[in-house]
Amino acid sequence: MEQDKEYEVTSMPRIGDAAPEFKAVTTQGDINFPADYKGSWVILFSHPADFTPVCTSEFMTFASMEEKFAEANCKLVGLSIDGLYSHIAWLRTIKEKIEYKGMKNIEVNFPLIEDITMDVAKKYGMIQPNEDTTKAVRAVFFIDPKGIIRTIIYYPLSLGRNFDELYRVIIALQAADEFDVATPADWRPGDDVIVGPAGSCGTAKDRMEDGDIDCKDWFFCTKKLDKDMVLDRVLRKK
């Protein structure tokens, strides 16, 4: 029985799985997830607790970047296992009292899920018993417009997230889908992209001779992808 309980707490969906469904109360009203977000990318993220300093810095950063994510057709949904009134009081305190890295009077307009039963946190494996049994770790789920989980990033309680990376992931995932390519290490719009491995010797030979594709060897080929084209297709495509 104890083993079953532990599995329920620590299990988590995988990349390529449909995002687990749930209904929840949030600071922006009730939501039916992911059905309410069909057609949009979503970052679903958890934080350990309200009224904590690292979480406060993260929420201010997310809120200040919300419009930037929205331009990339990406909506934000937060979660902690605190109650709704705690959420409301904390977000009000952030707006009225907290200044961080030049950010102040920050209003959080995206929904923050109440999850005092930990039902949603358990569905998404956000509770890691070896880290803490009563707080959600800093999990980040990138969910595509069809409701499929495309990327998962987990951070421990002590480590604040890198928001430039979270934004880069959203852009890179959409660019890979839009242009049928892969993105190499540290890729940013305007950098060369990876062309998938050739499926036959003939294709590999053709690629080696293609002036638009730079092949260092048959398995490592890149091509240029114009920055403006990426931004036009990703940031302006709703």
How many Cα atoms within 13 Å fall on the side-chain side of residue 53? Answer: 3
For residue 74, indicate whether it is catalytic.
Answer: no
State the residue for tokens 């931004």.
231
Query: Is 138 annotated as a binding-site member?
Result: yes
State the residue for tokens 């494996």.
125
- Catalytic residue chosen out of the listed positions 55, 74, 215, 221: 55
State the residue for tokens 């998962």.
152
H helix runs in the chain, sequence order: 2-10, 53-64, 66-71, 84-97, 119-123, 163-179, 201-209, 227-235
C-alpha to C-alpha distance for 89 and 85, rounded to whole angstroms: 6
Burial of 80 per CB tally in 10 Å (0-12, 13-18, 19+): buried
Residues in binding site for substrate: 138
Catalytic residues: 55
Residues in binding site: 138
